[in-house]
Amino acid sequence: MKAAVRMLALLLLAIPTTILAENYPVKPIRLLVGFTPGGGTDIAARLVAPKLSAALGQPVVVENRPGAGTNIAIEIVAKAAPDGYTLLMGTPPVLINQFLYKKLPFDSLRDLVGVSLFSVTPNIMVVNSSVSARSVKDFIALARANPGQHSFSSSGIGTTQHLSGELFNIRAKVKTVHVPYRGTSPSLTGLISGEVDLSYCSVPVIMPHIQSGRLRPLATTGPKRTDLMPDLPTMKESGVDMEMLVWYGVFAPSGTPRGIIDKLAGLVMKITNSPEMKKRLLDMGSEPVGSTPEQFEKQLRGEVGQWAEVVKSSGAKAD
């Protein structure tokens, strides 16, 4: 199978990329998401897919393939034919998982190529409304008085929700227990029902539950306050030295012809920076980006050391 994929890649590279890009696409495109429907990654994919479809003249189908900390979806794309018909809406686990898992059947930086960074958003530290804490300082006092008695949910091991909680434990010198779920929706259900006490969720996902009063925000993990909640302090303002952003970006298998990569990147940048999409993202608490493949790759390689340090410091393991 690997030999066949490599052979296809060589054949594709032998064709002038301008011809490939002009004729691409001639059939539907799959955009894989490594999480269940309803989470931030799924939302990002479903914002991009119809716009890409309209621009390319072919269906762009969002396919949810959750499991194994997004490794199932990543592996499918990493091992797919490098022809532009199998793409990934990726998030930081694309980089994080190599430090969490002892052995992976792929190397993200070798087997994937970043097409374009779509958007970034902070996580919000939220607690169930039954938790008495009204601030990060309050919660730290509760956690220190009851070590190991408070738990936080995530959409899976190795997600930014998971590592936000682990980093909080380290920087705030507390012990909260990680409870991983199979996706954002079940993680939120566990938090809202009181199975766990807190979580760290992206702004688009968490806002409706904050507005309903079922969840209480304590701080944002971003470098600045979010315009949607200007009174909500950052973690650093709350006395905890931590900062973490969630990004959403489109990936393709390595070996995909440059003409196709450039065509997709140009469309993602155009979509992201359209007035309609900018407003929609900002209204959700996300920051539109849109980047060239080179800019995205530079960011990815610059983040590797950061994630390696967080995983090592937290002692987090997936197997």
> Domain locations in the chain?
2-120+246-314, 122-220
Cα 113 to Cα 47, 78, 135: the distances in Å are 21, 9, 41
pLDDT, tens digit, for every residue of 30-81? 999 999 898 889 999 999 999 999 999 999 999 999 988 899 999 999 999 9
Which of 76-80, 82-86, 148-152, 312-316 has the least mean pLDDT? 312-316
Structural contact between residues 288 and 273, judged by C-beta atoms closer than 8 angstroms: yes
pLDDT at 15: 56
**In which band, very low, low, confident or very high, does the pLDDT at 126 lie, cut at 50, 70 and 90?**
very high
Output the pTM of the full model: 0.84
pLDDT at 318: 78
By CB neighbour count within 10 A (0-12 exposed, 13-18 middle, 19+ buried), where does 81 fall? middle
pLDDT, tens digit, for every residue of 188-240? 999 999 999 999 998 888 999 999 999 999 999 999 999 889 999 999 999 99
Residue 93 scores a pLDDT above 80: yes
Query: How large a percentage of the chain has pLDDT more than 70?
Result: 93
Mean pLDDT of the region 139-150: 96
Structural contact between residues 307 and 95, judged by C-beta atoms closer than 8 angstroms: yes
Mean pLDDT of the region 14-21: 58
Cα 4 to Cα 73, 79, 88: the distances in Å are 20, 11, 21
Bond preceding residue 92 cis, omega within 30 of 0: no
pLDDT at 58: 98
Task: Indicate if 122-220 has the same CATH topology as 2-120+246-314.
Answer: yes
pLDDT at 184: 86
Contacts of 306 (CB under 8 A, 6+ apart): none
2-120+246-314: which CATH architecture?
3-Layer(aba) Sandwich (3.40)
Could you count the other beta carbons within 10 Å of the beta carbon of residue 132? 10
Rounded distance, CA 34 to CA 93, Å? 10
pLDDT at 99: 93
Residue 17 scores a pLDDT above 80: no
Structural contact between residues 49 and 60, judged by C-beta atoms closer than 8 angstroms: yes
User: In the 3-class helix/strand/coil scheme, how is 147-216 assigned residue by residue?
Assistant: CCCEEEEECCCCCHHHHHHHHHHHHHCCCEEEEECCCHHHHHHHHHHCCCCEEEEEHHHHHHHHHCCCEE
Quickly list DSSP for 255-306: T--HHHHHHHHHHHHHHHTSHHHHHHHHHHT-EE----HHHHHHHHHHHHHH
pLDDT, tens digit, for every residue of 276-297? 999 999 998 899 999 999 999 9
Structural contact between residues 77 and 285, judged by C-beta atoms closer than 8 angstroms: no
**In which band, very low, low, confident or very high, does the pLDDT at 157 lie, cut at 50, 70 and 90?**
confident
Average pLDDT, the chain: 92
pLDDT, tens digit, for every residue of 240-261? 999 999 999 999 999 999 999 9
Could you count the other beta carbons within 10 Å of the beta carbon of residue 27? 9
Residue 305 scores a pLDDT above 70: yes
**In which band, very low, low, confident or very high, does the pLDDT at 313 lie, cut at 50, 70 and 90?**
confident
Residue 5 scores a pLDDT above 60: no
122-220: which CATH architecture?
3-Layer(aba) Sandwich (3.40)
Mean pLDDT of the region 15-40: 84
pLDDT at 53: 98
